[in-house]
Structures are given as C-alpha cells and as structure tokens.
C-alpha cells in the first residue's frame, strides 16, 4: 500500500488507501463513518432493500488494517452504526467478529449523530478524544482550534479524466484540520467543493484520494463540481 503523510500540528499522520488514518507514533488507528447495519436499518424503516453484506465487508476491511498495523488503540469517529438499533440487532457472527477486532486493544466509540448510544458492545464511549495536540470528534467545528480530526461529511472528489470523470473518497486537510472519508461499504459522499465542506478549509488545503494507492491533489485547482 502507498500511504500519504499529512502533517497536522507537528504530528505526522498516514492517510491509508483504505480510508483509515494511522498515527504510528501513538499506535492509533482511526476510522470514520462505518455505518454498520445500514442495509438492516433501511429495510426496517421501509427503505431500499440492499444486500445485507456491508457490515461483514466493512469489518473485513478493518480487520486487514488492524492485522497490518497492530494498533494499540482504535478510534471510531462516530456514525459507526447507522442507528443505535443497528448496534442492538447486529447478527451474532458479526458481533463476534467485532469482538475479535476489539480484543487486546483500547477501542473508543466517538459519539455520532446516527449513533448517540452504542449499547452492549464494549469499548469506551466519548463525545471527543484528546491525544497530544490532536482532538478527535465526529463533526468539525468551524472555529475549532488547530489539530481537529473528524469525519461526518464522507468527502469525495470528482476529477476530470480522458474517459470523462471519476469520483473517489478522500481525506481533506489543511494546516488546522483533517476530515476522513467514510470507511463503510454502503456510504455515499459529499463533493469536497460543496459549500458546507469547502468552507471549512483554507485555500492551501489538499485532498488525498483513496483507492489502490493514495494520491494527493490541491482542493481548489484540481477538483470539479
């Protein structure tokens, strides 16, 4: 895998092609917006019927990151479940899979707007997590101090290509903050040039596209609407 290093408040972080963030010095793996149980939640509420495999797929991808990096701590940046009931209704096989991932390391569930409570799954529940110069939360605050790491927006970038255009999940970062892409298998995204997301960043911001390898491009000059 080819990571891209991001320097935030003097801290070197690695943007992974999977969409996970790795802080090697602190041995912290961070992921955002897993949205586990989305297909179940949609079916329960009478929405679109999707193949019920996204939770296992997302957990398998997370397993590969944990196997590769052996983190001491994992921080899930909110919206880990598509709603609080999805956590309660997690199938036993996937509950055991998640328990295996959590075993032997500190696991922190940051509160999200989709999952204000995560019952019965272990780990630590926190609204925000402060580690060194960094603050991990679900939704970026427009006037946050430098060092904020968040999720929520599911940023994507659309780039022009010879064949037309392509949209890929991406990290967005400037010298003050970093927003992670959604890690979940069944998640949409917001174009990083859209107002609510674009307004959070300085003109020097970069986007780090995910995929088979990471690619860094300027937020303004390379993105298309």
Of residues 42 and 203, the one with the higher pLDDT is 203
CATH of span 4-222: 3.60.21
Residue 21 — φ and ψ, nearest 5°? -115, 135
Rounded-to-integer distance, Cα 9 and Cα 23, Å: 13
pLDDT at res. 167: 84
Per residue in 134-183, pLDDT tens?
999 999 999 999 999 999 999 999 877 677 677 899 999 999 999 999 99
So where are the chain's domains?
4-222
Is residue 109 within 8 A of residue 80, CB to CB? The reply is yes
Q: How confident is the model at residue 67 (pLDDT cuts 50, 70, 90)?
A: very high
pLDDT surpassing 80 at residue 38 = no
Rounded-to-integer distance, Cα 100 and Cα 94, Å: 10
What does the DSSP 8-state code read for residue 127?
Answer: S
Q: How confident is the model at residue 222 (pLDDT cuts 50, 70, 90)?
A: very low
Q: How confident is the model at residue 43 (pLDDT cuts 50, 70, 90)?
A: very low
Tokens at residue 18, please?
Answer: 């999977």
| 94-115 mean pLDDT | 91
Rounded-to-integer distance, Cα 50 and Cα 188, Å: 14
In the chain, what percentage of residues exceed pLDDT 90? 62
pLDDT at res. 49: 42
């Amino acid at each position: 895998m080819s990571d891209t290093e991001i320097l935030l408040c003097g801290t070197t972080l690695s943007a992974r092609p999977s969409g996970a963030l790795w802080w090697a010095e602190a041995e912290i793996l961070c992921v955002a917006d897993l949205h586990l149980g989305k297909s179940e939640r949609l079916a329960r509420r009478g929405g679109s019927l999707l193949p019920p495999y996204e939770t296992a797929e997302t957990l398998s991808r997370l397993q590969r990151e944990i196997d590769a990096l052996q983190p001491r701590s994992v921080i899930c940046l909110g919206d880990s479940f598509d709603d609080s009931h999805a956590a309660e209704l997690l199938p036993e096989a996937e509950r055991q899979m998640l328990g295996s991932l959590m075993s032997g390391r500190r696991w922190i569930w940051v509160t999200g707007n989709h999952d204000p409570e995560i019952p019965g799954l272990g780990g630590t529940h926190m609204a925000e997590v402060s580690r060194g110069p960094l603050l991990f939360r679900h939704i970026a605050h427009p006037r946050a101090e430098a060092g904020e790491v968040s999720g929520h927006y599911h940023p994507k970038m659309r780039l022009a290509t010879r064949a037309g255009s392509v949209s890929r999940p991406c990290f967005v970062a400037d010298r003050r903050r970093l927003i992670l892409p959604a890690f979940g298998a069944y998640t949409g995204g917001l174009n990083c040039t859209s107002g609510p997301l674009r307004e959070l960043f300085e003109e020097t911001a970069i986007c780090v596209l995910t995929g088979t390898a990471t690619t860094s491009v300027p937020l303004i000059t390379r993105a298309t609407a």
